[in-house]
Amino acid sequence: MSLLKKVRRYSVFYFVASLSFALPLHAKVFNKDLLQEIAISYVADQIGSTENTKIQLSALPLDSRIPDRTCQNALELLIPNEPPFNRQVTLQIKCNDTQNWSQYVHVRIVEMAPVVIANANLVRGEVITSSHLSIEMKPTHFVRMQYLDNPEVLIGSRSKRNIRSGMPILLNQICMVCKGDSVNILANLRGLKIKTTGVALEDGTIGEQIRVKNKKTGKVLNARVDGVESVQVNI
């Protein structure tokens, strides 16, 4: 079950449960699992999870010695602060009837981000194809600046070292332009686009400055890598 479906399920559950709480005809029984589900659903509603939000919610286990509780009134749910929350928020669930009990539930909030990983072992110098790549969701606090979220960027590049299957592919592990490669050199001159060919004198990945040699003139230029076997120069 996807996170979004799970959050929706909790939201629907909380709505239905809230209706039952409002009817004081019979006491409602709340076990530990139900209290945790109510806490997750409430935090999800506060965050306002949408299709574009990649958030994983989980409740920390409650003490196994906590007995099932009953309440005849609607539960009161309290959070000490407002969104945006940190990576954990504590929800107080209160029952304001003759028993007058309360329970604290800690909800962990983990933002997730897409990361490109290797589907198979890659050896040094291997050309990367789409079949080598997939995307996994990883906690954002583990995602480094050199991680990639778009596999299309990597297709046609080459690995500079061995990369194990299941591991994220970092920019410093690949070269989009490798030393000795023939490259397309693109330049803008007074609004005119000029294209020629050259030879890379260094390895480079997207956004990096490398030296390339123009095949026609023999001149060495500083160029910025903008894709596989492609660089741009400023004139």
CA 199 and chain centroid, separation: 37
pLDDT in tens, 71-83: 999 999 999 888 8
> What is this structure's pTM?
0.64
Distance CA 76, CA 95 (A): 6
In the prediction, which pLDDT does 49 show? 56
b/e sequence 35-69, b meaning 16+ C-beta within 10 Å: bbbbbbbbbbebbebeeeeebebebeebeeeeeeb
Would you say residue 107 has pLDDT above 80? yes
Token pair recorded at residue 205:
């990945």
Amino acid identity at 75: L
Which bin fits 200, alpha (ψ -120 to 50), beta or left (φ > 0)? beta
Q: Would you place residue 15 in the very low, low, confident or very high pLDDT band (cuts 50, 70, 90)? A: very low
In the prediction, which pLDDT does 34 show? 96
Q: What's the alpha-carbon Rg for the chain, to the nearest Å?
A: 28
Could you tell me which of 128, 125, 232, 124 has the C-alpha nearest to residue 187? 232
Backbone torsions φ then ψ of 59, nearest 5 degrees:
-100, 135
DSSP string, 25-60: TSPEEE-HHHHHHHHHHHHHHHHT--TT--EEEEEP
pLDDT in tens, 133-161: 999 998 888 888 888 999 999 999 999 99
